């Protein structure tokens, strides 16, 4: 399938650089089989039914962007190094995008402030494997002191990450540390909204998918068949799988909060629609023609042209319907991407 089928004109001013405040005041475009309705996030309880199950992602974004120094060689000056962690390799090792990558070698030690340092144990182009001097809870405590939130590139090019982003770029569900990007549909939720959903009989649960930096990588191939999807680690427990299957058996709908939750649910589902326990990497790449097995509705933010995420929503709600919905959103000044507004999609088939 040609990638240019998923292109559209997005004015730069439609990309949000700051979140809506309060979170549940953001706009919500309800994309139905019959057309679209303009709503706000606080309307969500009225758009769902008692017995439905809302499934969010409880991954926690780590302050994965680090600024440090490599000591000078042969009496030379130290070199400033920027590293963005993107994959936990276990223990005290992480893969990272490094700049300037040409200025580091194997066995170099990079110090990131007073609390954290790492040895370069492998290098491949713009990436490096870093072995840190601490791990576990001590590592994340040191990272919290030394690192900053890894804002999406299109925001980072416009402004640096600030102290407010540590809260703004984190969902209220965040518990399991390991993501380098937020599951952004979850950013719209507040305790008041969660309480209103519960009062209306909508059940809620969280599963875990650690979002990698690959979510920001552009699709450079001309055909979707030639695109290599990044992998991310996710987990659905046996108890969670049972609750999801019970909801379906009793006639409730499964509403995924975000493409990350959807990708994990679909990765764990059988052809018959049963969701099994899951604890593994997934590189599922969903494009039009995919038959959805587990998810009935999707709440998600607005995505960028030619992105794998726009391809996914086109697969879910129909390419023509999503192009029309996005044209409506652009014309009516909806805010796009991570800090932007959201849409609630009904499945096309």
pLDDT in tens, 200-255: 999 999 999 999 877 767 788 899 999 988 889 999 999 999 999 999 999 999 99
Say whether pLDDT at 115 is over 90: no
Mean pLDDT of 108-132: 93
Nearest to 48 by CA among 30, 36, 66: 30
Classify residue 18 by burial, with Cβ atoms within 10 Å: 0-12, 13-18, 19+: middle
Helix (H) or strand (E) holding 331: helix 319-331
Please tell me the predicted confidence (pLDDT) of residue 166: 86
The phi, psi pair for 30, rounded to 5°, reads -85, 110
Residue 324, pLDDT > 90, answer yes
Cβ-Cβ contacts under 8 Å for 63 (sequence gap 6 or more)? 143, 144, 146, 147, 148, 149, 150, 166
pLDDT tens per residue across span 168-199: 999 999 999 989 999 999 999 999 999 999 99
List, for residues 330-347, the tens digit of each pLDDT value.
999 999 999 999 999 999
**What pLDDT, on the 0 to 100 scale, is given for residue 216?**
66
- pLDDT confidence of residue 73: 87
292: confidence class by pLDDT, cuts 50, 70, 90: very high
Among 31, 55, 32, 328, smallest CA distance to 203 is for 55
Buried b (16+ CB within 10 A) or exposed e, 166-181: eebbbbebbebbbbbb
CA angle 63-69-75, nearest 5°?
175
Average pLDDT of the residues of the chain: 94
Q: Where are the beta strands (DSSP E) in 138-271?
A: 176-179, 203-209, 232-236, 254-257
Percent helix, percent strand, percent coil in the chain, to nearest 5: 30, 30, 40
Residue predicted with more confidence, 115 or 95? 95
* 131 vs 117: CA distance, rounded Å: 8
pLDDT of residue 69: 95
Q: Categorize the per-residue pLDDT at 128 as very low, low, confident or very high, splitting at 50, 70 and 90.
A: very high
Q: Where are the beta strands (DSSP E) in 180-302?
A: 203-209, 232-236, 254-257, 278-282, 297-301
Question: Once rounded to an integer, what is the mean pLDDT over residues 140-150?
Answer: 90
Sign for the CA dihedral angle at 269, 318, 171, 188 comes to negative
Average pLDDT over residues 265-289: 96
User: What is the phi/psi pair of residue 309, to 5°?
Assistant: -75, -35
Using CA atoms, how far apart are residues 255 and 337, in angstroms rounded to an integer?
20
- Residue 97 tokens, joined: 């995008």
CB 335 within 8 A of CB 16: yes
The reported pLDDT for the residue numbered 341 is 98
Nearest to 174 by CA among 278, 65, 57: 57
What residues pair up with 85 in beta bridges, in sequence order? 96
pLDDT at 336: 96
pLDDT band, very low/low/confident/very high, at 81 (cuts 50, 70, 90): very high
Of 30, 49, 25, 12, residue with least CA distance to 187? 25
Q: For residue 208, give both structure tokens.
A: 């875990």
**Predicted model pTM:** 0.92
- Please give the domain boundaries of the chain with CATH numbers for all domains: 3-61+166-346 (3.40.1780.10), 65-147 (2.40.10.240)
Q: Residue range 111-123: average pLDDT?
A: 92
Closest CA to 46 of 199, 236, 275, 229: 199
Q: Residue 125: count other Cβ atoms within 10 Å of its Cβ.
A: 9
Tell me: the pLDDT tens digits for 82-93? 999 988 888 789
* pLDDT (average), residues 91-109: 91
- What token pair was written down for 221? 């191939």
Provide the pLDDT for residue 152.
81
């Amino acid at each position: 399938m040609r990638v240019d089928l998923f292109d559209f004109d997005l004015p730069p001013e439609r990309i949000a650089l700051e979140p809506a405040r309060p979170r549940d005041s953001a706009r919500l475009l309800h994309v139905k089989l019959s057309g679209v309705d303009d709503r706000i996030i606080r309307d969500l309880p009225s758009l769902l039914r008692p017995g439905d199950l809302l499934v969010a992602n409880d991954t926690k974004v780590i302050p994965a962007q680090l600024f440090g120094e490599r000591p000078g060689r042969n009496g030379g000056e130290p070199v400033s190094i920027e590293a963005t962690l993107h994959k936990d390799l276990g223990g005290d090792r992480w893969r990272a995008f490094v700049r300037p990558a040409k200025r580091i070698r194997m066995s170099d030690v990079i110090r990131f402030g007073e609390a954290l340092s790492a040895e370069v144990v492998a290098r491949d182009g713009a990436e490096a494997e870093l072995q840190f001097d601490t791990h576990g809870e001590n590592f994340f405590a040191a990272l919290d002191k030394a690192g900053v939130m890894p804002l999406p590139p299109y925001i980072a090019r416009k402004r640096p990450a600030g102290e407010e982003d540590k809260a703004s770029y984190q969902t209220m569900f965040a518990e399991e540390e390991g993501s380098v990007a937020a599951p952004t549909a979850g950013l719209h939720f507040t305790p008041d909204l969660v309480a209103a959903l519960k009062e209306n009989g909508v059940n809620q649960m969280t599963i875990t998918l650690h979002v990698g930096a690959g979510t920001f990588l552009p699709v450079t191939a001309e055909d979707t068949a030639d695109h290599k999807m990044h992998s991310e680690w996710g987990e659905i427990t046996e108890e969670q799988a049972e609750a999801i299957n019970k909801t379906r058996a009793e006639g409730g709908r499964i509403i995924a909060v975000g493409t990350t939750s959807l990708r994990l649910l679909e990765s764990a589902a059988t052809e018959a629609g049963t969701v099994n326990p899951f604890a593994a990497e997934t590189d599922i790449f969903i494009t039009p023609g995919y038959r959805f097995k587990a998810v009935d509705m999707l709440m998600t933010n607005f995505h960028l042209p030619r992105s794998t995420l726009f391809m996914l929503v086109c697969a879910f709600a129909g390419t023509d319907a999503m192009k029309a919905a996005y044209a409506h959103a652009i014309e009516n000044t909806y805010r796009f991407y991570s800090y932007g507004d959201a849409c609630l999609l009904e499945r096309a088939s």
